[in-house]
Copies of this chain bind each other. A is one copy, B any other.
Amino acid sequence: MASPAKGPNLKTVASAVGVSVATVSNAYNKPDHLSAELRTRIFATARELGYAGPDPAARSLRGRHSGSIGVLSTVQLSYAFTDPYCTAYLAGVADAAERYQTSVLLIPLAPRGVSSDEEVRQSVVALRNAVIDGVVIDGIDDGHPALRVVDERRLPRVRSTDDPAGRCVLIDDRAAGELLGRHLAGLGHRNVSVVAASVHAPGQISVAADDGELYPYARLRVAGLRDGLGAGGHVTVMAVGPNRTEDGQAATAEILRREPRPTAIAATSDALALGVIAALRERRAGPGAEVSVTGFDDIPAAVAAGLTTVRQPIREKGRLMARMLLDPSLTQRRIVLPAELIVRTSTAPAPAVTSATSASR
């Protein structure tokens, strides 16, 4: 990128008008520290010389404040704009930013697991160089190097998962998972498979030995689900790349190939759950018939799909996260938003116990 031509600056204008630079600076920043007459005279010559006002970079350096906040996410930006969860979240962040006349800097980060370590390191460069006052962080697994950079740079940060060292806005994922678990248990489901977002590459699917590789929010939802199902419940976790409908579909194919077949499949997001439903449809097994399906988020498409899910106020979450950064009067360290179980047609009573399932105990 070509450097912009060197233009006029405070000094240029000051000497043209015949005053000091401080005075010109004041003309822009402290209107009442100089006479109105002088002020208009300064603006007139500024316009003449083509001076556009104080340089943002210099001002940021001097003032230690840039008027923009960063949005961190390992979701490919190009994908982020097509994902209903992401757009709702971003819209919320934008709401708050708009109100505080702040701009929003989208910082592309390579997701671990998908990209090579080198790519990840490379992608963090953009974060290192970003001129921002703080960051909101959503959907980044705990080990990502970007988090260390945020720390090192001492950037104020707000996360959407519990963060002992910092502030956060979140729902009680564990309790929400429990709602789902109890709902399923109440319908007689004992054998449940979970399709859970992990740091896996898209397309990569595996049975999760432990829950360590899952995203924090997914881990909590699964834990809650276990609690909710109670002692009689049996849960298998299928770890997939984060949040792509295709992966939910592929994971379901794999699940249905195994014995014992679960009577319900819970996904850690609606996007994945839509994939689960698609896979069932392919096999002429409508959701809610042989197999019940649950999601998480309550994105608009969930309504049409009849998906039982947990509604969380996504946009409100983004809005609050940004406000925490921008509004000094908002001093809470941790805000828990309400989540609500939405029961639709994708869940139904478990079918009578088959020989396969009873044999499995």
Q: Which residues of A contact B (CB under 8 A)?
A: 1-5, 7, 50-53, 55-61, 64-68, 70, 76-82, 87-88, 90-92, 94-95, 97-98, 101-108, 122-123, 125-126, 128-134, 149, 152-156, 325-326, 328
Q: How far is the CA of A2 from the CA of B2 in the complex (A)?
A: 34
Q: How far is the CA of A98 from the CA of B130 in the complex (A)?
A: 14
From B60, B81, B92, give the contact of A94 (CB < 8 A): B81
Q: How far is the CA of A254 from the CA of B277 in the complex (A)?
A: 42
Residues B57 and A60 in contact, CB atoms below 8 Å apart? yes
Residues B134 and A67 in contact, CB atoms below 8 Å apart? no
Contacts of A80 in B (CB 8 A): 94
Instruction: Return the 7 tightest CB-CB contacts between A and B, nearest first.
Output: A77-B94, A52-B152, A81-B87, A57-B60, A57-B61, A98-B108, A131-B131
Q: How far is the CA of A326 from the CA of B2 in the complex (A)?
A: 9
Contacts of A53 in B (CB 8 A): 128, 152
A-B contact pairs, 15 of them (CB 8 A): A1-B134, A51-B152, A52-B149, A53-B128, A56-B128, A56-B130, A57-B57, A57-B61, A60-B61, A60-B131, A77-B98, A78-B92, A78-B95, A81-B87, A105-B106
Residues B78 and A131 in contact, CB atoms below 8 Å apart? no
Closest-CB distance, A77 to chain B (whole angstroms): 4
Question: Knowing A67-B126, A68-B130 touch, does A82 contact B91 (C-beta < 8 A)?
Answer: yes
Interface hub of A1, A65, A132 (most chain B Cβ within 10 A): A1
Contacts of A1 in B (CB 8 A): 65, 133-134, 156, 325-326, 328
Contacts of A325 in B (CB 8 A): 1
Contacts of A122 in B (CB 8 A): 101
Closest-CB distance, A92 to chain B (whole angstroms): 8
Contacts of A95 in B (CB 8 A): 77-78
Q: How far is the CA of A97 from the CA of B64 in the complex (A)?
A: 26
Contacts of A81 in B (CB 8 A): 81, 87-88, 90-91, 94
Q: How far is the CA of A92 from the CA of B79 in the complex (A)?
A: 10
Contacts of A70 in B (CB 8 A): 103
Residues B103 and A103 in contact, CB atoms below 8 Å apart? no
Contacts of A57 in B (CB 8 A): 57, 60-61, 64, 66, 131
Contacts of A105 in B (CB 8 A): 68, 103-106
Q: How far is the CA of A80 from the CA of B87 in the complex (A)?
A: 9
Residues B97 and A77 in contact, CB atoms below 8 Å apart? yes
Residues A106 and B94 in contact, CB atoms below 8 Å apart? yes
Interface hub of A5, A88, A104, A125 (most chain B Cβ within 10 A): A104
Closest-CB distance, A347 to chain B (whole angstroms): 27
Residues B104 and A67 in contact, CB atoms below 8 Å apart? no
Question: Knowing A4-B64, A326-B1, A328-B1 touch, does A56 contact B131 (C-beta < 8 A)?
Answer: yes
Residues B101 and A126 in contact, CB atoms below 8 Å apart? yes
Specify the chain B residue showing the minimal Cβ separation from A81: B87
Contacts of A60 in B (CB 8 A): 57, 60-61, 131
Contacts of A133 in B (CB 8 A): 1, 4
Contacts of A154 in B (CB 8 A): 4-5, 7, 52
Residues A56 and B129 in contact, CB atoms below 8 Å apart? yes
Contacts of A328 in B (CB 8 A): 1-2
Q: How far is the CA of A42 from the CA of B2 in the complex (A)?
A: 32
Specify the chain B residue showing the minimal Cβ separation from A50: B152
Closest-CB distance, A185 to chain B (whole angstroms): 36
Q: How far is the CA of A131 from the CA of B87 in the complex (A)?
A: 24
